[in-house]
Amino acid sequence: MAATDYTRSIMQPLALTMGEPAGIGAEIAAGAWSALRAGGPAFFLIDDATRPFGVPIQAIAASEDATAVFPHALPVLHRRLPAVPVPGRPDPANAGAVIAAIAEAVELTKSGRAGAVVTNPIQKSVLTAAGFKHPGHTEYLGEIAGTGVPPVMMLASEELRVVPVTVHEALARAIARLTPEMIVETARITAAALRDQFGIARPRLAVAGLNPHAGEAGTMGREDIDIVAPAVAVLRADGIDARGPLPPDTMFTALARPTYDAAICLYHDQALIPIKTLDMAGGVNVTLGLSIVRTSPDHGTALDIAGTGRADPSSLIAAIRLAATLAAARGTA
């Protein structure tokens, strides 16, 4: 979809959350507005409008005001922060406002007053210290915008889509609790999203093995025989085009990637290392299985460069564009 098409296809602006106030969220929001102001998609930022953004901003009273403001200023739905943010130095006093911005963006989208949610990166350690009970965005969104299925994290770029079955937990625990049922459930949600949101009529799934060489017929562990292969058999019996277990060291090569639409990976780094290596700037985090569309940049808060002007908004721009496309396909925009 060309940039000039967004203003015609997206009826409601997208809701962008502040993320960690001491991180690069404000900088990349400003950069995204500068890149998208002419053709959209329009978005508004839930943040403190008294902060310096380095671009023209306009405080808005309601999300409905954002579209008219967007061509000439970054629309900010003003929510004052308890503590003045200092770049690179997160303040637990602002944790409540960070969480509230996520919740408000979700409510605006569920009520039809925003087209989708795009979240800036959060500093999980700060939120946890302030009493946040969730490992990250994905799990929290599953609680407040769930559909009865576990939320599934997809990382998407032009070259690759990956979906980890287990996400924010220690590797030893992830492997210990991995079951065929978990793989099947994740793959089914992924296949449905590829059909309904990405417009792929018959999705092709590549399921990664757990062990080197996918276990080498059991000589390097039986997990691929006992856990992964049975899951693939169930998926194929369901009519889903799934292959695996595939050796993880070859399934992400340039020759292999065009043979599938998404890779089902068994743990966090197995999924995120290849996509971040291929396209760190353009990768987008998409949460599947929600009642709304949610995307996010494929990077963290970058506290080390916050306030320096070096933050790259490319991943946020990609996240905003993909959110608009998915919302339009879903008919929620």
Q: Does 168 show up as a binding residue in the annotation?
A: yes
Report how far residue 301's alpha carbon sits from residue 4's, in angstroms, rounded to the nearest whole number: 30
Q: Does 134 show up as a binding residue in the annotation?
A: no
Pick from 92, 55, 94, 95: which is nearest to 76 by CA?
A: 55
Report the DSSP beta bridge partners of residue 241.
204
Under 8 Å between Cβ of 91 and 85? yes
Mutual angle of helices 95-110 and 137-145, in 10-degree steps: 40
Report how far residue 216's alpha carbon sits from residue 3's, in angstroms, rounded to the nearest whole number: 47
Report how far residue 261's alpha carbon sits from residue 205's, in angstroms, rounded to the nearest whole number: 6
Is the dihedral angle over the CA atoms 310, 311, 317, 318 positive or is it negative?
positive
Report how far residue 157's alpha carbon sits from residue 297's, in angstroms, rounded to the nearest whole number: 11
Query: Would you state the torsion angle of the CA atoms of residues 307, 309, 312, 317, taken in this order, to the nearest 10 degrees?
Result: 80
* Contacts for 142 with CB less than 8 Å, ≥ 6 apart: 150, 151, 287, 289, 290
Q: Does 268 show up as a binding residue in the annotation?
A: yes
Annotated binding site for substrate: 137-138, 276, 285, 294
Annotated binding site: 137-138, 168, 213, 268, 276, 285, 294
Annotated binding site for a divalent metal cation: 168, 213, 268
